[in-house]
């Protein structure tokens, strides 16, 4: 898997999730979404996004994105995450 391409794809995907307001993300807690994307290298990448409470219910939400090439990297995907507080601020940034 080309990690630079995978990182670019995942960053782009997570940017759409970063734009979602806190109440919208609350509705997606404990649900995961997967998609397949064809990268500029013509390879198929699988992205999984998970939304969950970071520590306690009703508080910060963590959005975790993982990407792999549907091969060996599926066992060790590249991942990035962010945490959003109820007041709409990103935690730790």
Q: Say whether 73 sits in a helix, a strand or coil.
A: helix
pLDDT of residue 50: 97
For residue 93, pLDDT beyond 90:
no
Span 20-74, pLDDT tens digits? 999 999 999 999 999 999 999 999 999 999 999 998 888 999 999 999 988 787 7
Residue 39 lies in a domain: yes
Residue 69 lies in a domain: yes
Residue 91 lies in a domain: no
Residue 89 lies in a domain: no
Whole-prediction pTM value?
A: 0.88
1: confidence class by pLDDT, cuts 50, 70, 90? confident
C-beta atoms surrounding 44 within 10 Å: 11
Residue 52 maps to which CATH number? 3.30.1300
Average the pLDDT over 14-23 and give the result.
96
CA nearest to 15, candidates 62, 82, 87, 68: 82
For residue 9, pLDDT beyond 80:
yes
Domains contained in the chain, number: 1
């Amino acid at each position: 898997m080309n990690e630079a391409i995978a990182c670019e794809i995942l960053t782009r995907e997570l940017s759409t999730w970063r734009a979602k307001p806190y109440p919208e993300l609350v509705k997606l807690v404990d649900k995961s979404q997967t998609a397949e994307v064809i990268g500029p290298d013509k390879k198929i990448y699988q992205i999984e996004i998970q939304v969950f409470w970071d520590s306690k219910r009703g508080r910060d939400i963590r959005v975790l994105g993982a990407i792999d090439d549907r091969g060996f990297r599926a066992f060790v995907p590249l991942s990035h995450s962010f945490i959003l507080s109820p007041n709409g601020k990103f935690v730790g940034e």
